[in-house]
Amino acid sequence: MVQHVLYRALVSTKWLAESVRANRIGPSLRVLDASWYSPGTREAQKEYRERHIPGASFFDIEECKDKSSPYELMLPSEAHFADYVGHLGISNDTHVVVYDGDDLGSFYAPRAWWMFRVFGHRTVSVMNGGFKNWVKEGHPVTSEASRPEPAVFKATLDRSLLKTYEEIVENMQSKRFQVVDSRSEGRFRGTEPEPGGLEPGHIPGTQNMPFFNFLTADGFEKNTEELHNMFQEKKVDLSKPLIATCRKGVTACHIAMAAYLCGKPDVAIYDGSWSEWFRRAPPEHKISEWNRSKA
């Protein structure tokens, strides 16, 4: 059984700004911009090149994935992840801080946080408030490229934090795990269209907790009391096993982070999520109010 040691999941913009000013960005502290935007909206790499936190490297989630998978953003192999983050100057002794530039304050950063954790790296945090609050508070930005010295990273997959299609199918009978979906209510119920050419809907027996509700209007994570209350209102028992899902395994990581902040570090992610479930599950295992005449 893997022991999950609680490490600070969030660091403040102020803490990171002090680290930048003290020139502490280096082998022991690496900062990653994990931004990603839907095609045709914003260009994450272009924005990174124009301005980013001093010393930050770009974490390209399109490069650090299983490119052979028919699904969108499946985890890469241990070797692929280790090689990719090693080239970003990250070793097993590095404290990694991730952020993104989404207008919500945080979108893809929790996915990068979970990726490090699922590959056995515990010293990883998300910068609370994201890049939008970093800029709003007047902290320094740069266009200077980060060129860290490559490091050696050893990745060890923690299977307890990852669930497969087959395990979700088995759970429908055993009900060993609670399953929570982080998409919007409309996409979950099937009253709003689903991006990516999928019909909307959800896995039978799944609870819905839209990920953006974990964030304040200013883009910060809500406090632990509010997070606890949110789980209680949805009758999600944090003392029992929990799986998080969404469309492609990204915003599900917000559920994992919120639970982690409540003292539950062992939430597993269904990596294929609805992207895989919609394509593989039989019709009776897809609950939806979608009217196909809308399509």
Residue numbers annotated as active site: 246
Long-range contacts of 264-267 (CB under 8 A, 24+ apart): 264/238, 265/4, 265/5, 265/6, 266/4, 266/160, 266/161, 266/241, 266/242, 267/161, 267/242, 267/243
Q: Are 38 and 3 in contact (CB under 8 A)?
A: no
| Spatial distance between the Cα atoms of 261 and 15, rounded to a whole number of angstroms | 18
Angle between helix 252-261 and helix 224-233 axes, rounded to 10 deg: 120
CA distance 235 to 209: 11
What distance in Å separates the CA atoms of residue 10 and residue 224, rounded to the nearest whole number? 12
Tokens 């803490």: give the residue. Answer: 15
Considering only CA atoms, which of 72, 88, 75, 68 is closest in space to residue 39?
72
Helix/strand/coil for 287: strand
Q: How many other CB atoms are found less than 10 A from the CB of residue 89?
A: 20
